[in-house]
């Protein structure tokens, strides 16, 4: 049985690039390949906002809300005088009644009173991912800055979530997981 479409993209055309049409259904993990280079982060930021509906786009139809897995950030003042703990972050950003919210504590180095700014980048991403997955079955995520250990770990968690009926869009600058994704879409640069 075909799953209903959760997101439809009829293509995205800017003065710099073109993204061909694609759709996302429950149980699908779609990779949008952005290439890697100086342009990666601006394109990532723009697409994450379009695909979650934060910036309306005439060619994106959201049949179900998608949530972006944000990078954890903390102000200088907060980091030095009142750092955020995992528990405080989860209380503010996660759905308490979801089992996904408590999965973060299965990791040996993460406790409720752990300050997030003391964690390595992959673990900070996992805290944010757990909070997002507790609220939303449809996510947009990236693997930027996670390194050779954190990248497959994070991808594995998302893939498991998708296999349980969720949906995900991976915005990535590498093709490492192209074969493991349900669909693959490649950004096409336009000649200047």
What's the burial of 168, exposed, middle or buried (CB within 10 Å: 0-12/13-18/19+)?
buried
Q: Under a CB-based contact definition with an 8 Å cutoff, are residues 28 and 184 in contact?
A: no
Q: Under a CB-based contact definition with an 8 Å cutoff, are residues 126 and 104 in contact?
A: yes
Distance CA 24, CA 166 (A): 10
pLDDT of the residue at 97 = 85
Q: Under a CB-based contact definition with an 8 Å cutoff, are residues 41 and 65 in contact?
A: no
Q: Which two tokens stand for residue 14?
A: 């800017």
Mean pLDDT in order along the chain per 10 residues (192 residues): 88 94 97 93 96 96 96 88 94 89 85 93 94 96 93 95 96 95 95 62
pLDDT of the residue at 101 = 84
């Amino acid at each position: 049985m075909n799953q209903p479409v959760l997101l439809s993209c009829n293509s995205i055309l800017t003065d710099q690039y073109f993204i061909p049409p694609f759709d996302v259904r429950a149980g699908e993990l779609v990779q949008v390949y952005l290439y890697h280079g100086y342009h990666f982060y601006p394109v990532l930021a723009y697409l994450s906002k379009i695909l979650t509906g934060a910036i309306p786009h005439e060619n994106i139809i959201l049949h179900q809300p998608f949530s972006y897995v944000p990078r954890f950030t903390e102000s200088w003042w907060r980091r030095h005088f009142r750092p955020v703990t995992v528990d405080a972050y989860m209380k503010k950003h996660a759905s308490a009644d979801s089992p996904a919210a408590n999965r973060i504590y299965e990791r040996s180095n993460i406790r409720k009173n752990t300050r997030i700014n003391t964690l390595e980048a992959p673990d900070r991403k996992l805290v944010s991912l757990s909070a997002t997955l507790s609220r939303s079955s449809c996510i947009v995520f990236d693997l930027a800055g996670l390194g050779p250990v954190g990248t497959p770990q994070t991808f594995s968690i998302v893939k498991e979530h998708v296999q349980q009926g969720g949906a995900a869009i991976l915005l990535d600058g590498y093709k490492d997981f192209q074969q493991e994704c349900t669909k693959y879409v490649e950004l096409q640069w336009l000649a200047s």
